[in-house]
Each structure stands twice: as C-alpha cells, then as structure tokens.
Amino acid sequence: MNDEILDVVNQQDQVIGQRPRPEIHRLGLKHRAAHVLVFNRHGQVFLQRRAQTKDTHPGLWDSSASGHLNQGEAYETAAQRELEEELGWRPERSPEFLFKLPASAQTGQEFVCVYRVEAQGPFRLHPQEILQGGWFTAEEVNRWLAERPEDFAPTFPLIWARLQAEAPSARG
C-alpha cells in the first residue's frame, strides 16, 4: 500500500503528476477514488466495515467496495477491480455510473465516482481490507447515520445523501 504511485489531479480532475500514496495523503493533494454500492434484489445495500489495519478510517463502515485509482486507471476500471479485490466477486456487467463527488476535505481531497451494481452474495471478504460486512435497508442506514454518524468513513455520508436525493432509482 505504501509503495503505490497514484495520479495527482488539479481542480478539474486532470492529471498533473504522480506521487506516492502516503505523500498524497500527507500533503492533502487531490487524487481519485471509486466507490461501488452493491444492492441485492430486496433493495438492501451491502456495507463493509474497514479492517483495523487500514491506514485511513480503520474500523469504520463504508461503501460496499472502494479504493484509489491506480496510476493511469479509469474510474470504471477501478470500480470493477475493487469489487474483485475486496469482495472476491466479479460482476457480469459493468457497474452503473451514478454520480461524481468533487474533491473536498470530507472526501480526503479525492474526486469520487460512485457506481451501483446488483449482486446477491455471498462474497469472499478480503481480510486485510474488510473486518466485516452486511446487508442493510435504506431505512436502517438512514437511522444509523442519524444516530451514529461517527461509525462511518467520512465520504460515505456524502455518497448516501446524494444517492437519496438525486438517484431514487438507484436506491434498490
């Protein structure tokens, strides 16, 4: 993880260079990430609890799968790769693009493209990435976020709020 070289981007999400991942985070440079929300046929979303060994937001709940884009990688490619790496699952079709969040302090200076895919599980959770996972209804997630927002990685509440407001068809 510490030897990853990622693209650094400007305010328009255009690549302006490359730097090691720890340096990007330490300096607060803009970079890119993909998040995927996996819904089942009952409209529940699969959320993961990040492993305690993660260098950012250990032990917090987050999107079904997520990660930085590798150097020169497209958002959609990263989304598919993260599903396979973290959940041990490869979708038959490309995930559906939902929206893009601008880089901000709350996203850790990441431009975030969010995707949706349907799956039923079970998944093979990568133990170095994920402590646990589970299926939740939208109502459960809404209540949980309202009562204990500190349980979540900072980008997830932004993603969930935008999903609820702008993509009602993507809720399940």
Residue ranges of domains in the chain, CATH in brackets: 32-99+111-171 (3.90.79.10)
64 vs 1, more confident? 64
What pTM does this model have? 0.93
Cα 10 to Cα 17: distance, rounded to the nearest angstrom? 9
Q: Compute, in degrees rounded to 10, the torsion defined by CA atoms 9, 152, 144, 167.
A: 20
In three-state form (DSSP H/G/I as H, E/B as E, the rest C), the secondary structure along 53-98 is CCCCCCCCEECCEEEECCCCCCHHHHHHHHHHHHHCCCCCCCCEEE
Q: Are 62 and 50 in contact (CB under 8 A)?
A: yes
Whether the per-residue pLDDT at 1 is higher than 60: the answer is no
How far apart are the C-alpha atoms of 39 and 49, rounded to whole Å?
16
Lowest mean pLDDT among 2-11, 12-21, 61-70, 139-148: 2-11
* Type and span of the H or E element at 135: strand 130-136
> For helices 138-147 and 155-166, what crossing angle results, to 10°?
130
pLDDT at 69 over 90: yes
**pLDDT above 90 covers what percent of the chain?**
90
Once rounded to an integer, what is the mean pLDDT over residues 132-157?
A: 97
